[in-house]
Amino acid sequence: MIVLDQASYRYRGTSTWALPPTSLELRPGEVVGVVGANERGKTTLCMVAAGLAPVTIGGELRGRVLIDGRPTVELAGYELAQRCGVLFDNPTVQLTGLHRTVYEEVAFGPCNLGLPVAEVHERTRAALRMLAVEHLAERNPGHLSGGETQLVALAGLLALRPGHLVLDEPTSRLDPDRSLQVADAIARVAEAGVGVLLTEHDEQLVALVSGRVVEL
């Protein structure tokens, strides 16, 4: 479970609080939608909930943020990655660009953990299967459509077997058909017991997949 308890955050070198005091709970298998106008702190909320802020990017956090009962500030980046995956709005930067096939790209995370080869294969296949993108396995990651790239980036996160996912406007660069593809994938991930925090401009999409909606 992810818990934000009156968490507020400001970026390094700034005096304003990008995220005002916010409390939120994300339970396993639950999809929580976050809506709000621009500059209300949706992306910052994603960074804080996933622990990237302040663990990776620095800055000042007030209040408490817990992932599975442990304060995010006590966890290293790679430990956070195994507990909470983060999908950014631009999927192309989420792929390494150093792999010849989608399969290798998805396997990148488990390989980073130094897992046995058999387990890397098992996790990679399972992640591709969960998002129904096994057919992309041998494709070049650089030659995918926007929707496919987003799904492959998501598969790369799922291969780390996180208990939670934070999705920062995952459909902002996609057409309606591709957005529905991503929405379908989110529903499937939640069914598998993963808690999903979703920020989106598209309120229809949020209403479609979220069990609960929070407004910033």
Partner 1 sequence: MAVGVALLTTLAAMRAGRIRRLALAALALTPVAASSLLINVLLPAGGGGLATAVAALLRLLGTTLPLTLLFATTDAPDLLNDLEARGIGRRAVFVLGAALAAVPRAQARAVDVIEAQRARGLDTEGSWRRRLRGVVPLVTPLIIGSLAEVEDRTLALEVRAFGAPGRRTLLHRPPDSGWQRAARWAMAGLAALGLATRAAAVTGH
Identify the CA nearest to 159 among candidates 90, 99, 206.
Answer: 99
Residue 53 tokens, joined = 């802020």
Does 37 help bind partner 1 (rule: CB under 8 A)? no
Q: Looking at 14, 23, 56, 204, which residue binds partner 1 (CB under 8 A)?
A: 56
Q: Which is nearer to partner 1, 35 or 54 (CB)?
A: 54
Please tell me whether residue 104 binds partner 1 under the rule CB under 8 A. yes
Among 14, 39, 76, 191, binds partner 1 (CB under 8 A): 76
Q: How many CB atoms sit inside 10 A of residue 53's CB?
A: 27
Distance of closest approach, residue 104 Cβ to partner 1, in angstroms: 7
Note whether 58 binds partner 1 by CB under 8 A: no
Q: Read off the tokens for 212.
A: 């609960």
Determine the interface stretch with partner 1 among 6-14, 24-32, 86-94, 131-139 (rule: CB under 8 A): 86-94
Return the ∠ at Cα 164 (arms to 159 and 165), rounded to 5°. Answer: 75
- Name the helix (H) or strand (E) containing 205: helix 203-209
Residue labelled with tokens 């130094």: 114
Sole binder of partner 1 in the list 19, 107, 185, 206 (CB under 8 A): 107
Position 141 contacts partner 1 (CB under 8 A): no
How far is residue 206's CA from residue 182's CA, in Å, rounded to a whole number?
A: 12
Half-sphere exposure (Cβ direction) of 23: Cα atoms closer than 13 Å:
2
CB closer to partner 1, 35 vs 157: 157
Q: Is the distance from CB of 67 to CB of 83 less than 8 angstroms? A: yes
Query: Per CB under 8 A, does 19 bind partner 1?
Result: no
Asked if 187 interacts with partner 1 (CB under 8 A), we say: no
Cα(120)–Cα(112) distance, integer angstroms: 10
Query: Does the footprint of partner 1 cover residue 109 (CB under 8 A)?
Result: yes
From 156, 163, 170, 195, residue interacting with partner 1 (rule: CB under 8 A): 156
Longest dimension (CA), the chain: 49
Strands (E), 18-162: 19-26, 31-35, 60-67, 70-71, 84-87
Closest separation in Å from C-beta 22 to partner 1? 21
Only one of the segments 35-43, 58-66, 95-103, 187-195 lies at the binding site for partner 1 (rule: CB under 8 A); that segment is 95-103
Binding site for partner 1 (CB under 8 A): 50, 52, 56-57, 76-78, 80-82, 85-86, 88, 90, 93-100, 104, 107-117, 120-121, 156-157, 160
